[in-house]
Structure 1
């Protein structure tokens, strides 16, 4: 009876999260230093001539790609967080544990600070594409390193994966400190703004890659739901139940690396979304990954789009880095989770 009731409950939760996401998207479309209202937006959509005016330029070339990037980034980070928590069987897990974010950050910092030394015409030849490609390559390289360190003859060890991620994160932190010391004032400003995360650099080319990557990862990730549900009972039970455990672990790590690497390469480091979104869905509807994975994607998109809208208005005409806002929310949630788990032990 309980299973039937929960199955009927699932669509309702997803519909409510979808409605919340729609509301956050509409709010973000109207919010910013250049304000738009519903009447002006409707006129813009109805009249092709209006698209060449100020409203059209702001909405179509600045606001809309930013919204699309926020939706894709939030969905990808929320989904990656749910995958990591399922793999580690721990609600305190975060995509940053395996070092993808720090690897992407280190590669991007190296491109900003050392790129002109290695290739003086880099910015003229590639523009911002060099930063995106470098960060993405760095994230994937770190993931490959961590995965190789965690593999053993018996398979991928989750404990070793965690320890390797901790070590790589520490090494990347040292590298970022060194590059900050070597950077000029202008490079340091660019570096710090990128490390704190922002959707301000959204361009249709980079947005299309992130959106395509997230959409391609959603279906394979959701197919892992049944295996992650069994894995929650323990690795031994998962093997006895017929789950291909090593394949499941490998798919989770690869999907997380692709999602977080592509997003971090475009937006910079946005922390705690992968921690908060799965926990929020778990509070609403339980720990069944059939709901947790798509629900985390929806709630992650709500968090990023809503936080970005708030970041644009708090310190107008300047813009507060997005990672600052997510940290202000994420750290108290993390500490509350930690305290709750301590009380349950």
Structure 2
């Protein structure tokens, strides 16, 4: 099956390309040129045969949003896959164990109290303050949950989930208090934060996301064999020459970086890191050498599909994408619980 990985990746990337092309044409606005090749040719040649309105909708609205859906879906899916491999449990996704909530908590504090915080922070960090806060929130939560739930290399699943519940409750209550204190503009930002949306996609944000993902994936994607060995037990993995503690620390930092950056740009989009690994595990068993790279593509497919539905199903209004992913993820979460209740 491993020999067929390039074929699986090619077919899934082809599917992603088809979905992305279809997503360009789905929406309230209709292009004057109905052929994708006509639009693409006009943009490449810059021959002014494409109208300004077509160019604006394509280059400033739909394409950045499609690219952001691809990037964030991939990042969240790989994060969930790595956490499940590290904790050796299918319930260890960023939102269920509180990592997303931790990022949202510090991000919400930054949104409401940012004007009071910025005078004490160097000016160079002002533009990226929200992203830094979300990353620190994710990293802090990840570290706390890991320390509480893991002892002698073994993770107590119930404690892990309860830790996530506690962090989520704290984030929810604090965000509610901040909503009470917030002004009108801050209230809109917090509402976006809680429900999740890709409506604020820009090429600048996509460039930052792409850099973060390239840095994180350069380590995470190649650790499939190490995660396979860790599934046998950490002592066995060490006997096979796997630097277990080093890998775990890097997974913690890099998944926090991925989740924090995604939350900073899109708000709360849950269950992507749960749905994709679960589906791939049904197909490829627990072979992380295949699941990790495949999750990078299928996460993009899932979020791009969800975002396209969110902005077209009730056009011209938009359903928050976090609602859709939660609607898809909740039944899968229940199914995993039913299958895992004996081991838990």
TM-score band, normalised by shorter chain: 0.7 to 0.9
Match of 1:26 in 2: 21
CA shift at 1:275, angstroms? 0.4
Tell me the TM-score normalized by structure 1. 0.86
Cα pair 1:68 1:211 within 8 Å, conserved: no
Listed one character per residue, the Cα deviations across residues 210-244 of structure 1 (whole Å, up to 9, x for unaligned) are 01111222221122111110111122322333322
Listed one character per residue, the Cα deviations across residues 50-83 of structure 1 (whole Å, up to 9, x for unaligned) are 4661111111111111111111101111100110
Deviates more, 1:185-194 or 1:63-72: 185-194
CA shift at 1:286, angstroms? 2.4
Q: Structure 2 CA distance, aligned partners of 1:85 and 1:139?
A: 16
Pick aligned residue for 1:15 from 6, 10, 32: 10
Distance 1:55 1:133, change over 3 A: farther
2:275 equivalent to 1:276: yes
Cα pair 2:143 2:252 within 8 Å, conserved: no
Q: Structure 2 CA distance, aligned partners of 1:299 and 1:286?
A: 16
Distance 1:41 1:340, change over 3 A: farther
Q: Structure 1 CA distance, aligned partners of 2:224 and 2:155?
A: 18
Which 4+ runs in 1 deviate beyond 6 A?
125-128, 148-152
Listed one character per residue, the Cα deviations across residues 235-284 of structure 1 (whole Å, up to 9, x for unaligned) are 23223333222112112111211111111111111100000111122222
2:48 equivalent to 1:53: no
Tell me the TM-score normalized by structure 2. 0.86
Match of 2:316 in 1: 317
Structure 1 gaps, min length 5:
1-5
For the residue of structure 1 that corresponds to 2:315, the secondary structure is: coil
Structure 2 gaps, min length 5:
none
1:115-194 to structure 2, matched below 5 A, reads 115-118=114-117, 129-143=128-142, 158-159=155-156, 162=160, 165-194=164-193
Q: Structure 1 CA distance, aligned partners of 2:86 and 2:176?
A: 31
1:285-296 to structure 2, matched below 5 A, reads 285-296=284-295
Deviates more, 1:136-145 or 1:107-116: 136-145
Deviates more, 1:40-49 or 1:211-220: 40-49
Q: Structure 2 CA distance, aligned partners of 1:288 and 1:35?
A: 44
Match of 1:206 in 2: 205
Distance 1:337 1:249, change over 3 A: same
Cα pair 2:76 2:258 within 8 Å, conserved: yes
Match of 2:104 in 1: 105
CA shift at 1:143, angstroms? 4.0
2:262 equivalent to 1:263: yes
Deviates more, 1:130-139 or 1:65-74: 130-139
For the residue of structure 1 that corresponds to 2:95, the secondary structure is: helix
Q: Structure 1 CA distance, aligned partners of 2:339 and 2:316?
A: 40
Q: State how many pairs are aligned.
A: 335
Q: Structure 1 CA distance, aligned partners of 2:305 and 2:150?
A: 39
Output the aligned Cα RMSD: 2.9
Match of 2:246 in 1: 247
